[in-house]
């Protein structure tokens, strides 16, 4: 099964130098005709909000120095088919440690209360050495469905086999590729 399909809405991020490089994934998604959305954080640190905006040629650096697209944002991250999430650490159950800002936790809060088939597929991107034995899950955490590292794909324990009503994606024991 091909994970990145034409017209799918893909949430991705511009990697920082210490993160797994997302440029090849971004290029692949564009070649396959995906609609790519990047996160845009609020201008005020106290707001802590993040929205996804369709990637355009016009980017502007935010207060943290990260390039963000200009233009209107999606009303909700729920409208995306797949969201690739950065991480500092992860465990086999899909728990992740981020950079501490809570942006993804707030943007994905809806995923804690809806069925897996009614939310985007959540995929963490990181290095294999970032895998930890166990991360305690807090009430605000949203677990990942899988993690992709330089060594391969880790299907997170507790992620049940799901299939969207449209048949757009499926997580099961079958092999898949980007």
Q: Give per-residue pLDDT as tens, 107-140.
A: 999 888 887 778 899 999 999 999 999 999 888 8
**Residue-wise pLDDT tens digits, 11-48:** 999 998 889 899 999 999 999 999 999 999 876 655 66
155-to-42, 93, 129, 159, 169 alpha-carbon distances in Å? 32, 9, 16, 7, 14
pTM beyond cutoff 0.75: yes
Which superfamily, per CATH, for 9-171? NagB/RpiA/CoA transferase-like (3.40.50.10420)
Note whether 34 and 6 are within 8 A (CB): yes
Domain ranges of the chain: 9-171
List own/partner pairs for 151-155 with CB under 8 A and 24 or more apart.
154/90, 154/92
């Amino acid at each position: 099964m091909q994970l990145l399909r034409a017209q799918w809405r893909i949430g991705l991020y511009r990697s920082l130098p210490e993160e797994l490089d997302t440029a090849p994934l971004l290029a692949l998604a564009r070649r396959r005709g995906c609609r790519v959305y990047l996160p845009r954080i609020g201008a005020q640190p106290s707001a802590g909000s993040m929205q996804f905006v369709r990637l355009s040629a016009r980017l502007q650096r935010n207060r943290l120095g990260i390039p963000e697209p200009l233009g209107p944002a999606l009303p909700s991250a729920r409208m995306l088919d797949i969201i690739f999430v950065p991480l500092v650490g992860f465990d086999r159950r899909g728990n992740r440690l981020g950079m501490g800002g809570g942006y993804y936790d707030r943007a994905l809060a809806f995923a804690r209360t809806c069925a897996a088939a009614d939310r985007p597929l959540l995929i963490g991107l990181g290095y294999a050495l970032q895998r930890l034995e166990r991360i305690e899950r807090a009430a605000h955490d949203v677990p990942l469905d899988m993690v992709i590292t330089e060594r391969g794909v880790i299907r997170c324990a507790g992620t049940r086999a799901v299939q969207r009503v449209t048949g757009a994606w499926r997580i099961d024991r079958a092999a898949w590729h980007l």
